[in-house]
Structure formats: structure tokens, C-alpha cells
A and B are shown apart, each in its own frame.
Chain A
Amino acid sequence: MLCFALMFLLTPLVLLLFEGWKGMSYALLEKEVHCALFLSLWTATVATILSMGIAILVGYALHQLVLPLRRVLSVILSLPMSLPHLVSGVALLLLYGRKGLGDWLYTQFRIDFVFTQAGIVLALVFVNLSYAIVMMYSGYEEQGSHMEFTARTLGCSRLQAFCFVTFPLSRRTVASTTIMTWSRALGEFGAVIMIAGTTRMRTEILPTTIFLNMATGDLDIALGVSVILILVSVVCISLLELLMPSTKEGERC
């Protein structure tokens, strides 16, 4: 069964790597790919920073709430995670489009999310925030409140206990959630295409490059960019594995 699962999962990826390897060097010379790579990297990074900033605090707030409110809010906050990403994109378009809140945002602050790079960041935050919150919340739950309470008996306020004990003890969860959020943001397509569109060299990120080049029959670039995304995923998963301790911290002698 294990062999079947491994073959089922890995065969298409190995084939893609094999086929796309030559295309990758060709793709890396293309100005379009440079733009898409640069845009993907910065939008994914900004979206990850925003998502993590919110998730660290919201996950902690959830962890502090009493049952059953904690469970109800946790389910509500997880909802966007289970939506198809295209649906998330449609919802964002409705809210931030010119017929929704977007018109007011544009006239008051000149902020426009539709067919813009800001729209890419918005979509990436929307589809990844739930995931980041759930991961951080689970991390805090796993840690428990034992250490935090001990810190409070030692003179810390709630905020000091969070800053000096709870947050430093969650550093592995923060690091792994950051890596996974960034990796997911780099590969996001559905929500982005709905709100930011696929304007070449303007709102084109790596997944849209694959889509555009597949649509126009330029397979070398499409396969080359796919290989780049696979390599990024491999690096992220390896980093994640390095962060996970093989034994529990605080092993006794």
C-alpha cells in the first residue's frame, strides 16, 4: 500500500521534474518569468508577514478564551480554509470591487485591489490567514497555560508572560507556520486570478505564468516554472522537517 501511495504521489512530480528541467533554464532567461518570480516572492512575503502578525495574536486570544466560545470562534475562523479558493476570490471581488467597499476605499484612500498587486496580497492573506491562525492556536493549545501561569506567579503581567515565556516557547510553531504560509502563498492561484486577474508582467505571479503559458502553448516556460515551484516546495518541506525535533525538548540526563 505504501509503495502504491508513493508511486501515485511521486510519479507525476518526477515526470514533471524530468520534462521541465530543460525548460527551467530557458524559463529563467525570460523577462516575464523574472517579473513573475519577483512579484510572487514579494507578495508572498508581505502576505506571510501580515498573516503571521495577525495569527500570532488571534491564535493567542482564542487560546485564552473559555469554552465553548473558544470552540465556536475557532470553527468560524477556520471556515475560509475549507472554501474553494475561487469562491474566496469571488467573495473578495464582491466586497472590494467597485460596487462594494472598493469604491469607498478608492475614493477615500486611493486604494484599489481589483487587477492590482495589492489585490494579490489581499487574496493571499485571505486564503492563508485561517490556516495560520489554526496552526498558531493549535501550537498554543499544545503548549498549555502551565508555563504562562508560572511566569505570572513570578511577577509577570499577562502581556509580559506572553512576551517572555509563551511566545519564545512557541518559536517552533511560529517558524513552521511561517514556512508553510509562505509556501502556500507562493503557490496560490484561484483567489488571486479572481481579484487581481492575469495581466502579463503586472499581476502575473508564478502560478499565473504557468496558466498563461499553458493556454498559449508555450510548454517549456510552463514546465520550467512548475519545476521552480516544486523545488521551492521541497526546500520548504525540508526546512519544516529540520524544525521538528526528533525528541522532545528538555530531554533529561
Chain B
Amino acid sequence: MLRIHDVSSAAGSCILENVNLTLADGAYCVILGSSGAGKTVFLETLAGRYPLIHGTIEWNGIELSHLPPEKRHIGLVYQDYALFPHLSVAKNIAFPLRFSHCSQKAKEERTASMLDLLSLSSVADARPGTLSGGEKQRVALGRALVMDPKILLLDEPLSALDWATRQQVRSMIKTIHQDLGKTIIHVTHDFAEAKYFADCMTFMQHRTLSAVLDQKSIQAITEEDIYERLRP
């Protein structure tokens, strides 16, 4: 279980205040918020970029708040993918395995299976700069998943994609969630996208999160409600 209790953090002028969220293992939580609401800062705070002013982040009773990013085992996929342009697709995906203790053979097999899972084998030797948006997004997902993270954070993963690629990537994310059972926190400003993915949904308003809605409440919510909640 992920338990975020009374978390406040600051990233320059963007300050998160008293954020609370509790998620069961394997939950898919979507956070809806307008641009500049602090969604990315929230994800980066979870991943360890900004120190907490107060509050705690716990994963199954283990306190994560004071751990450096590399010890948290939280995967983060950015909207702009943040792929390493000096490495090939295969090396981007294998990047987290450089720092694991498994054998070279196991690393190669894991990389190959991830390339296969995401249908990236044909572009394994290409540089990220030559890929399409959908391919870049799949590489970013593969790179985050290959290290088997406890939690996967997705920062508007579909917003930079065209319609057709968006359908392809969103069904892929859904499949990955069902197959691997990871706890996922997905931030977006798109209600349709949120409704498609969410087991539970919450809103980022005034630098904090509102109460969590369950599946039943999500189905009942209307676009007018969303507009009211996201209005600055």
C-alpha cells in the first residue's frame, strides 16, 4: 500500500500543501488537474526530486521520504520522454540494469524481452532522435519498467501523441497494468483519458489533492463537474 500523508514540498514558486493519498497495491490512480496545478511537481516529489517540508511517504510500511531517488524504486515517465539522446533504444532500456547486480546474460535477456513486449526490437539500435512520438513513449515506458519499480508514475503520457498513436499507447499501458499489476499514478488534464484508465481518481486543486473517487463515482461524474473542479 502506498500512503502519502500530509506531504508538503516546494519546487521554486510551486508549493504543494498537505497532500494526502492512500492507494492499494496494483491500483491505477489518475490525478486530473489543469496546467500549472502542480501535478508534475507532485510526481517529482514522490520520486525524490524535492525534499519534503513535512509529511511522510510510505510504501508497505517502509518510509520512502528520506531515501534518495535511486533507492525509492519509483519509475517516472515524463511527458517529453526524457530519453538519453546519446544512447540507442536498447541501451536506453537497459540503462537501469547497469546498476543492478544480476548477470550480464540476465540483463541482456531482460532487455530483449522488454524490447519484444513493447514491439521495439526493430528499432533497438536506433537513436531516440530518429523515433516517432509513440516509439519514444514506448522506450520511456520500457526503461521505467525494466527495473521492476514498486510504483510507476506517468506524467501526461499521451498528451504529445497524435490520435492514432494515442489509441495504441493507451491500450498498451492498460495491458501493462493488467499484466504486471503495478501501482500506477497517472496525471493528466484529459477527462476521457482519465476515465479510460482510472480505478480511482482525484483532482489537483489549489496545490493539494481532493478526496479520492472510486470506480462508481467516476462513472457518475459529468464533464460539467470536472470543469467546476478544474476551474482555477
Interface residues of A (CB under 8 A from B): 146-147, 149-158, 160, 164-165, 168-169, 171, 249-253
Question: Count of B residues near A, CB < 8 Å?
Answer: 30
Considering the complex, give the chain B residue whose CB is closest to the CB of A147.
Answer: B82
Determine if B98 and A164 form an interchain contact, defined as CB atoms under 8 angstroms apart.
yes
State which of B78, B86, B96, B133 has its C-beta within 8 Å of the C-beta of A154: B96
Q: Which of A152, A157, A165, A171 contacts B84 (CB 8 A)?
A: A165
Can you report 24 A-B residue pairs in the complex whose CB atoms are below 8 A from each other?
A: A147-B82, A149-B44, A149-B47, A149-B69, A152-B68, A152-B69, A152-B70, A153-B47, A153-B69, A153-B72, A153-B74, A154-B95, A154-B147, A155-B96, A155-B98, A155-B99, A155-B147, A156-B99, A157-B68, A164-B98, A165-B84, A171-B86, A249-B129, A251-B129
Check B70 against A252 for contact (C-beta < 8 Å).
no
Q: How many A-B residue pairs have CB under 8 A?
A: 67
Please give, as numbers and ranges, the residues of chain B lying within 8 Å of A169 by CB-CB distance: 84-86
The binding surface of chain A is classed by DSSP as helix
Interfacial chain B residues near A147, Cβ < 8 Å: 82, 84
Give the shortest distance, in Å, between A89 (CB) and chain B (any CB). Answer: 41
Chain B, range 68-117, C-beta contacts under 8 Å to A: 68-70, 72, 74-76, 78, 82, 84-86, 95-96, 98-100
Contacts of B47 in A (CB 8 A): 149, 153
Residues of A within 8 A of B78 (CB): 146, 150
Which residues from B are CB-within-8-Å of A157? Answer: 68, 70
Set of chain A residues within 8 Å of B133, measured between Cβ atoms = 252
A147–B140 Cα distance when bound, in Å, is 12
Q: In the docked arrangement, what's the CA distance between A171 and B147, Å?
A: 27
CB distance from A67 to the nearest CB of B (A): 9
A160 to B84 CA separation, bound complex (whole angstroms): 14
Q: Is B32 an interface position by the 8 A CB rule?
A: no
| Given contact pairs A153-B75, A250-B128, A146 touches B82 in the complex (Cβ within 8 A) | yes
